């Protein structure tokens, strides 16, 4: 899904794949780039495109209220993750709707251009866009996805949406994995598809209340999640987390995996690796130092966990990112 300006009111709009220097720190590896600038402000759009999916990150810098159009060449289901800023938008199909910071929301987007009104402000969002026909294929292995297919089938030429839900910590970590994914194109595509399915299944569990744990148990698990997040760089022991949840270790492990779709051990590793990934890309700290900073007590253990999640060791990840940035710079000179 892409955004187009209203040419009648923004006659001086310019589109380019050259990004101004102040915004280059926002670039993500191996993504197509479109920078749009006009009287309304500017939009930095980046897209990682697969055969049946696309991952788009948009940074909006809006100087004045403006009209934008959401456009797509084929119908798709899109989960919008509002990472920064909240906005009130308007659509002829569903009226006014609020995109609140820290929430995600499923949209069915037809090929008909959708008119949206953006208020003054700065926003950052990520869209995970999926072809409905692709969902039918993967639903063979993941029957829960049939609910999303049914959602798309109920609409044809109108924009439609679910109610927004809070973005989970796990989803944020997966989004970081996706955005900073590098490596061999074939392996990268397989990793991205797996992570997109993971996000879709997580959305279903959250939005359609498919967890079978009780409200009290969910409350305890959310307390554990909050504790993990606040103490991520410190030693975390499963026995202590189980005690915090009020369950035995075996019951805690079962409920945690049911709620978060992965074991407590892998959940903690994913969050630590996501924090490490940001430090790898934004600092010159040695890999061994970063491992300790994010909570790993053994650099070799960190490297193994990083490779399991990203398919490449952290040192190679840093090298690949540096090469992609150098390639972008040389192509624009």
327 located within any domain = no
Tens-place pLDDT, residues 189-244? 888 888 888 888 778 776 655 444 555 676 788 788 889 988 999 999 999 999 99
Q: What is the pLDDT of residue 39?
A: 85
More confident residue, 159 or 69: 69
d(CA 80, CA 155): 18
Tokens 């009226």 — which residue? Answer: 95
The Cα 242–Cα 234 span in angstroms is 17
Does 42 fall in a domain?
yes
Burial of residue 230 (CB within 10 Å: 0-12, 13-18, 19+) is exposed
The CA-based angle 143-144-145, given to 5 degrees, is: 90
User: Each residue of 196-205: pLDDT tens digit?
Assistant: 888 887 787 7
pLDDT at 105: 87
Coil, helix or strand at residue 88: strand
Is pLDDT of 155 > 60?
no
Retrieve residue 135's tokens: 């969902």
Tally of structural domains, the chain:
1
Question: How far is 100 from 280, CA to CA, in rounded Å?
Answer: 30
Radius of gyration of the chain (CA): 21
* Domain assignment present for 141: yes
> Per the domain annotation, does 118 fall within a domain?
yes
- What pLDDT sits at residue 56? 93
Contact 188, 124 (CB under 8 A): no
User: CA-to-CA distance for 7 and 40, rounded, in angstroms?
Assistant: 11
Nearest to 146 by CA among 156, 136, 154: 136
Whether 32 is covered by a domain: the verdict is yes
pLDDT at 216: 67
- Residue predicted with more confidence, 254 or 331: 254
Q: How far apart are CA 253 and CA 259, in angstroms?
A: 10
Decide: 78 and 131 in contact? Cβ < 8 Å.
no
Does 126 map to a domain? yes
- Summarize the confidence of residues 70-87 as an average pLDDT: 84
Closest C-alpha among 263, 259, 273, 270 to residue 223: 259
Under DSSP, is residue 11 helix (H, G, I), strand (E, B) or coil?
A: coil
The boundaries of the domain holding residue 125 are 2-168
* 259-299 per-position pLDDT tens digit: 777 889 988 998 898 889 888 888 889 999 999 999 999 99
pLDDT confidence of residue 300: 93
Is pLDDT of 46 > 90? yes
Whether 328 maps to a domain, the answer reads no
Q: Which CATH number covers residue 21?
A: 2.60.120.10
Rounded to two decimals, what is the model's pTM?
Answer: 0.67
Select the more confidently predicted residue: 264 or 4. Answer: 264
43 occurs within a structural domain = yes
Selection from 150, 182, 178, 204 nearest residue 53 by Cα: 178
Could you report the per-residue pLDDT of 88-140, keeping only the tens digit for each? 766 666 677 778 899 998 887 777 777 777 778 889 999 998 877 777 776 66
317 to 44, 229, 276, 285, 292: CA distances (angstroms) = 24, 24, 11, 14, 18
Q: What is the DSSP letter of 19?
A: P
Mean pLDDT of all residues belonging to the chain: 81
Q: Which residue has the higher pLDDT, 87 or 302?
A: 302
């Amino acid at each position: 899904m892409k955004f187009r300006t209203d040419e009648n009111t923004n006659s001086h709009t310019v589109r380019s794949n050259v990004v101004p220097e102040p915004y280059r720190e926002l670039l993500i590896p191996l993504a197509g780039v479109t920078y749009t600038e006009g009287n309304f402000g500017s939009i930095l759009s980046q897209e990682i495109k697969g055969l049946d999916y696309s991952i788009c990150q948009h940074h909006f810098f809006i100087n004045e209220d403006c009209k934008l159009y959401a456009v797509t060449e084929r119908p798709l289901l899109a989960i919008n993750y509002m990472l920064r800023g909240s906005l009130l938008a308007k659509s002829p199909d569903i009226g006014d709707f609020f995109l609140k910071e820290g929430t995600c929301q499923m949209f069915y987007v037809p090929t008909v251009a959708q008119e949206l009104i953006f208020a003054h402000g700065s926003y950052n969002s990520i869209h995970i866009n999926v072809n409905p026909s692709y969902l039918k294929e993967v639903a063979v292995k993941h029957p829960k996805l049939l609910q999303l297919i049914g959602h798309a089938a109920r609409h044809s030429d109108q924009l439609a949406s679910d109610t927004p839900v809070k973005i989970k910590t796990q989803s944020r970590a997966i989004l970081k994995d996706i955005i900073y994914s590098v490596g061999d194109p074939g392996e990268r595509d397989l990793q991205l598809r797996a992570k997109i399915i993971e996000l879709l299944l997580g959305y279903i569990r959250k939005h359609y209340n498919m967890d079978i744990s009780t409200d009290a148990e969910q409350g305890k698990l959310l307390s554990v999640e909050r504790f993990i997040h606040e103490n991520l760089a410190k030693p975390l022991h499963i026995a202590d987390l189980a005690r915090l949840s009020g369950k035995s270790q075996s019951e805690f492990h079962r409920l945690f995996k049911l709620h978060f779709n992965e074991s407590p051990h892998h959940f903690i590793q994913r969050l630590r690796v996501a924090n490490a990934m940001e430090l790898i890309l934004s600092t010159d700290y040695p890999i061994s130092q970063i491992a300790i900073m994010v909570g790993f007590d053994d650099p070799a253990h960190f490297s193994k966990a990083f490779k399991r999640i990203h398919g490449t060791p952290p040192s190679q990840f840093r090298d690949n990112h540096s090469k992609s940035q150098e390639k972008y710079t040389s192509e624009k000179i």
